[in-house]
Amino acid sequence: MSEEEKDSFLDHDDGPTKEAPTEHRSKTLGYLRIGGEALLVLLVVVLLFQSAYRRQHSEDDRHTPVPTWSRKPVPFVQNFTLLNEDMFADADTTAHTLHQWIPLSSAARGYVSMPDWESWNDLKEPYTVRLNRMEEGPGYMISMFHQLHCLSYLVQHFQSGYGGVNLTKEVAHHAAHCFDYIRQAIICAGDTTLEGKTELGAGWGTSHQCVDHKEVLAWANSHSAEKWRNLMPAESILYSLLQATVGSPSTAGAQPSDIKDKKHHNEHGKGFICPWDSYEDHNPWFFFKKMGYRVITGTRNIPDTTPPTVPVRRPEFLPTRESKSLRATWLGHACYYVEFPGGLRALFDPVFEDRCSPFSFMGPKRYTEAPCMIEDIPLIDVVVISHSHYDHLSHPTILKIAKGHPNVHFFVPLGNKEWFHKCGVKPENVTELDWWEERDIKLSDTSSRAKTTSHESSVSKSVSSGSDTFGDPSVHATISCLPSQHTSARTPFDKSHTLWASWSITSGGKKLWFGGDTGYRKVPELPADVFDYGPEFDHLPMCPVFKEIGELRGPFDLGLIPIGAYDPRFVMSAMHANPYDSVNIFVDTKCNRAMGIHWGTWVLTEEDVLEPPRVLKKALEWKGLDEGVFGTCDIGESREF
């Protein structure tokens, strides 16, 4: 091989030999790059896990399940919608102003439900609150809303004291709690904003870093404990601050010619009677024997209360006294809330307890829930009671009304005032009447009354007319106590000791008749398939008093007439009207329209729970009346007339 060939061969081999280290370095760099990227990804993953761990660890260290809120600058300025100087001298302005506070609190008055509260070790034991109208469960009050409640309570009672109302020990105790609670809440918040002089006055115009109230409100509503509620505590809502003054009407209503005979007063002892052939007073042995026989023989019907039965909706009350029509809201059984044109707000036979019984553990139990609570009714001027039976008169309900509406006036039949006095209701806030008696009621501002030293209700028992000494009030009504065919009792030993009654109210150009609880005629024991309004039973006497009511006090724009609790007829007919009786009562009393009451809430007798409205339609057809003149509605529903 020549030297040239050797050089060529060597040059050929040197090429790849020299480039090998470069290729090796390239591969090494590739591996390093891949390793670096993997390491970077691993680092990112580690950081993410670490962040998640820290976040979880931070949440575990929190003392409350309530989230941390964002903050924003909010300048403090006077808000005359929520507070103004005049409110401390004017009761109506106070009530109107506090009503504007309602949107500041959550739908459940600040209560939130925490189902997993036990997992938060630092949380105290929750309150027991009503999660809905029928069930109770754990709930907590958000402190901010508690503070608002306390402040509204102090505002309300400051105004009352300014107006001359003597504050009770209970109010003083509650107010002391509110003062100290707000003091500690202010210190706890520790707002260290530096304030200076502004044209708006001390404290106004400076921005503070504030929690977003809308965020808190939204969270509270999403965790609402009492979803059925829609208002703040009773002390903060717009309720009646008008004082009732009761006196005899300037013109007495028409009365029967034999009214002086007082035939319904028991001549042979204490109490009252139904003085008509249409009534029969069954003794306890009769009920025990007849009803016991039906139980033993299996002939008694047990109504099915399995839902759905009567629809229940949340009522919508008018927030002010302004209304152009007669507006009636059924709150279950015989309870109606009526808003009259002109401003009067009347509540009839309120019972909001689960059982209509002297015992909380036994007695008839609701099969339909109450549509609201007493605290949800914004205005109550008068409460009208038909008689003392437990499905019409409730001790706990009366106490709640008297506490939440201190100026409310109760109208009761003769003999019932003592019961209210024993309950702690002021005697001047209760008027008891005999049949065919009536009173004018005029509502005036408590603060203006305080200035004129006219604080108490004055009740005139004379029937003579007199001059108007009440000034020119904005709310006026005439309330009449009228007969009904029934009885009364709260124990086995006081049957008929107090009077029972129907009532009429005239206010704002509208007239209403409230039947309460009444029978119409006594029916003998008949086979189940026999129609007791057939021609062969025309001889059975009908109660004459309803025609007297229609002729002497009618016509009425609206009648609230009982249609339920009537089966078996031979036992119940003298005391409880069935729908056929109810339609006759509707005609006799000259009501233009009517709504059925006394059904749909408790099982008191044997008819099926949805039977009364079905039979009512048949009775209207039987009487040749249009179905629309006398109807029923959902519990909580309002109708206008």
60 C-beta neighbours (distance < 10 Å), count: 9
DSSP three-state, residue 413: strand
- What per-residue string of b and e applies to 240-265 under the rule 16 or more CB within 10 Å gives b? bbbbbbbbbbeeeeebbeeeeeeebe
Q: Which of 491, 477, 481 is nearest to 437 (CA)?
A: 481
Please give the Cα distance from 440 to 249 (Å, whole number).
5
Could you write out the three-class secondary structure of 484-502? CCCCCCCCCCCCCCCCCCE
Residue pair 69/189 in contact by the 8 Å Cβ criterion: no
> What pLDDT does 138 receive?
78
558 C-beta neighbours (distance < 10 Å), count: 22
Q: What are the φ and ψ backbone dihedral angles of 640, each rounded to 5 degrees?
A: -115, 145
Q: Rounded to an integer, what is the distance from CA 175 to the centroid of its chain?
A: 25
Amino acid at 43: L
With a CB cutoff of 8 Å and minimum separation 6, the contacts of 624 are: none
Residue 109 structure tokens? 């008055």
Q: Which of 199, 153, 206 is nearest to 180 (CA)?
A: 153
Residue pair 572/557 in contact by the 8 Å Cβ criterion: no
Give 3-state DSSP helix, strand, coil % of the chain, rounded to 5: 35, 15, 50
57 C-beta neighbours (distance < 10 Å), count: 9
DSSP three-state, residue 226: coil
Q: Which of 457, 504, 440 is nearest to 242 (CA)?
A: 457
Please give the Cα distance from 158 to 141 (Å, whole number).
25
Q: Which of 212, 238, 235 is nearest to 149 (CA)?
A: 235
Q: Rounded to an integer, what is the distance from CA 86 to the centroid of its chain?
A: 30
Please give the Cα distance from 341 to 70 (Å, whole number).
47
Please compute, for residue 336, the number of CA atoms within 13 A of its CA located in the half-sphere on the CB side. 31
Residue 42 structure tokens? 């691993």
Residue 556 structure tokens? 């009425």
Rounded alpha-carbon distances, angstroms, from residue 245 to 94, 253, 281, 400, 475: 21, 19, 38, 22, 11
Rg (CA), the chain: 36
Could you state, in chain order, the average pLDDT of each consecutive group of 10 residues for the chain (641 residues)?
Answer: 50 48 68 77 75 51 76 86 65 68 78 74 76 68 89 79 69 90 92 88 90 88 67 40 74 87 88 95 75 77 92 88 92 97 95 92 92 89 97 96 90 97 93 96 62 36 31 75 97 93 97 98 90 93 97 97 94 95 98 98 95 97 96 97 96
Q: Which of 157, 95, 156 is nearest to 343 (CA)?
A: 95
Point out which residues pair with 141 in neighbouring strands: 111
Q: What is the pTM of this model?
A: 0.68
Whether residue 358 has a cis bond before it, omega within 30° of 0: no
DSSP three-state, residue 214: helix
> What pLDDT does 404 receive?
84
Residue pair 368/323 in contact by the 8 Å Cβ criterion: no
The secondary structure element, H or E, covering residue 481 is: strand 475-482
Point out which residues pair with 631 in neighbouring strands: 595
Please give the Cα distance from 470 to 477 (Å, whole number).
13
Is the C-alpha dihedral spanning 568, 571, 574, 576 positive or negative? negative
Report DSSP state, residue 325.
S
Please give the Cα distance from 537 to 541 (Å, whole number).
9
Please give the Cα distance from 556 to 618 (Å, whole number).
23
Amino acid at 170: E
Point out which residues pair with 443 in neighbouring strands: 244, 475
> What pLDDT does 250 receive?
63
List the domains of the chain with CATH numbers.
71-236 (no CATH), 308-640 (3.60.15.10)
Cα distance from N-terminal residue to C-terminal residue, the chain: 130
Going across the sheet that includes 558-562, the strands are: 242-247, 438-445, 475-482, 502-507, 510-514, 558-562, 594-597, 630-631
Q: What are the φ and ψ backbone dihedral angles of 416, each rounded to 5 degrees?
A: -95, -10
> What would the DSSP string read from start to end of 236-302?
GS----EEEEEE--SSPPP--TTGGG-TTB-TTSSSB---STT-----HHHHHHHHHHHHHHT----
Is residue 601 packed enough to be buried (19+ CB in 10 Å), middle (13-18) or exposed (0-12)? buried
Residues above pLDDT 70, as percent of the chain: 81
DSSP three-state, residue 10: helix
> What pLDDT does 51 receive?
60
DSSP three-state, residue 445: strand
- What per-residue string of b and e applies to 475-490 under the rule 16 or more CB within 10 Å gives b? bbbbbbbbbbbbbbeb
> What pLDDT does 50 receive?
65
The residue count for the chain: 641
